[in-house]
Amino acid sequence: MAKIRIMIVDDHPIVREGLVAVLRRDEDFEIVGEAADGRAAVKRALSLKPDLILMDLRMPEMSGVEAMQKIRATDPAIKFLVLTTYDTDEHIVGALEAGASGYLLKDAPREDLFNAIRTVARGEALLQPRVAARLIQHMTGQTARAQANAGEEDLSPREIEVLQLVARGQANKEIAAQLTITEATVKTHLAHIFQKLAVNDRTEAVTAALQRGHPFVGGVNHPHR
């Protein structure tokens, strides 16, 4: 099984050193490079071509959001997992719109970090529960925007429940168990969501729902992690 090639971007040397030391304990990970700011991250990413970049947000020279935008424009295959201390709506929304597939806070346990790296590397989305809760609150606050978009086909309550769990990083099997439906039904709901939002994958679906202001209301029993 091929290792996940990771580049670490953070302006604090001690943080980078700590992450390198922790990630090297797992034989599935390979650290291929580091960068101390967004501008250096862009340059190194395009030469190293890692599978995944562990990205801080607030850095000198260029922010993590700007760096992700520039890297993604040149090499869309590279995946991003944000690891930061900031959990404001502005930072979360900006990171997702820039192309991040995962968002963790730096106080997350090591096991959550390892799981997030594997999830994002597989092409799936994963948000730390606290971050997902903030995102859902933000989406709920955008209800007026959704109502103003008269020509758009809205998501059904069940599709909203499925998308909430997708935002929390749940796999199809876990979503099926959570909602007491079959995996085939989950796939059908996802197909309808992708069609309504005009997207191709789970990460794009979460971001598109955010941009369009779909109301993420209650009705789902949020899983504990």
Convert the pLDDT of each residue in 122-173 to its tens digit: 988 888 767 766 666 666 555 445 444 544 567 888 888 898 888 877 889 9
**The last residue of a domain, from among 65, 97, 123:** 123
Look up residue 42 and give its DSSP letter.
Answer: H
Q: What are the C-alpha distances in Å from 173 to residues 170, 179, 215?
A: 8, 10, 25
List the domain range (segments joined by +) for residue 150.
135-212
Residues 9 and 106 in one domain: yes
Same domain as 73, residue 39:
yes
Of 79, 103, 123, the residue at which a domain comes to its end is 123
Q: How many domains does the chain have?
A: 2
Domain final residue, candidates 101, 123, 145: 123
* DSSP, res 83: E
Q: What is the pLDDT of residue 142?
A: 54
Confidence of residue 217 (pLDDT cuts 50, 70, 90): very low
Both 8 and 118 in one domain: the answer is: yes
pLDDT digits (tens, 9 = 90+) for 169-189: 788 999 999 999 998 899 988
> Residue 222 falls within a domain, yes or no?
no
Residues 99, 22 within the same domain? yes
Instruction: Tell whether 129 is covered by a domain.
Output: no
Share of the chain above pLDDT 90, in %: 48
Three-state DSSP state, 129: helix
* Mean pLDDT across the chain: 83
More confident residue, 165 or 6: 6
Taking 70 as the threshold, does the pLDDT of residue 224 lie above it? Answer: no
Instruction: Say if residue 219's pLDDT is above 50.
Output: no
What confidence tens digit (pLDDT) does each residue in 40-71 have?
A: 999 999 999 999 999 999 998 899 999 999 99
Let me know: does 88 contact 103? Beta carbons within 8 Å: no
In a domain, 217, yes or no: no
Is residue 136 packed enough to be buried (19+ CB in 10 Å), middle (13-18) or exposed (0-12)?
buried
Q: Is the pLDDT of residue 114 over 90?
A: yes
Evaluated on CA atoms 149, 222, 131, 28, the torsion sign reads: negative
**Which has the higher per-residue pLDDT, 129 or 81?**
81
Task: State mean pLDDT over 188-216.
Answer: 79
